[in-house]
């Protein structure tokens, strides 16, 4: 969300402004609005307009702004990491391109082999803890698991992070 302000000068009276936008506008005062972009990538717009009369001539003036709306992107340093068999790894997830940086949901996607995602301990500086499964026996390769985090700003936007778990050879 961003605050836009439009000021009228050079007139003896201050006319009321009419505001339009492709997003959501929240009223601050006659001259300001808080703009929240729609959940689509591309461009947005906001416009303020006023009309005044000079000697029976109606004159309209406006100001507008074009806004670039970035796509929502989720990232995490856990993506591509190899962890030890049965270990716990703490990590964060970052959301870019959205005012709302919250995560709606996070889980191990697909085959879990018993891996779980939990909230990290308070005060650790991390959001989540990945608890890797404990594999027993002999394997020829490491396990590949995926963590899926979904954005609260737009639930169709998510990050899929690959984590390898070392298995006994």
Question: What is the 8-class DSSP label of residue 30?
Answer: T
Cα gap 124→126, rounded to integer Å: 5
Give the contacts of 125 (CB within 8 A, at least 6 positions apart): none
Order of strands, edge to edge, in the sheet holding 32-36?
A: 2-5, 32-36, 24-29
Q: Where in the chain is the domain with CATH 2.60.40.1080?
A: 73-165
Binned average pLDDT, 10 residues per bin, the chain of 169 residues: 86 88 89 83 87 87 87 96 98 90 96 96 94 97 98 93 97
Exposed, middle or buried: residue 111 (CB in 10 Å: 0-12, 13-18, 19+)? exposed
CATH class (in words) of the domain with range 73-165? mainly beta
Q: Which of 22, 18, 64, 74 is closest to 43 using CA atoms?
A: 22
Q: Which of 116, 125, 127 is closest to 165 using CA atoms?
A: 116
Residue 68: what pLDDT?
83
Residue 55: what pLDDT?
85
Say if residues 95 and 105 touch (Cβ distance below 8 Å). no
Say if residues 88 and 131 touch (Cβ distance below 8 Å). yes
């Amino acid at each position: 969300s961003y605050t836009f302000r439009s000021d009228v000068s050079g007139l003896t009276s201050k006319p009321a402004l009419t505001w339009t936008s492709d997003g959501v506008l929240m009223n601050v005062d006659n001259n300001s609005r808080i703009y929240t972009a729609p959940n689509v990538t591309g461009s947005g717009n906001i416009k303020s307009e006023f009309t005044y009369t000079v000697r029976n001539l109606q004159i309209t003036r406006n100001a507008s702004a074009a806004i670039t709306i970035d796509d929502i992107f989720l990232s995490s340093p856990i993506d591509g990491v190899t962890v030890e068999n049965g270990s716990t790894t703490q990590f964060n997830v970052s959301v870019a391109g959205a005012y709302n940086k919250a995560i709606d949901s996070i889980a191990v996607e697909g085959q879990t082999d018993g891996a779980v995602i939990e909230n990290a301990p308070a005060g650790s500086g991390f959001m989540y803890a990945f608890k890797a499964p404990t594999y027993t026996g002999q394997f020829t390769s490491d396990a590949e698991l995926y963590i899926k985090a979904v954005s609260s700003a737009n639930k169709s936007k998510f990050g899929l992070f690959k984590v390898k778990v070392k298995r006994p050879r």
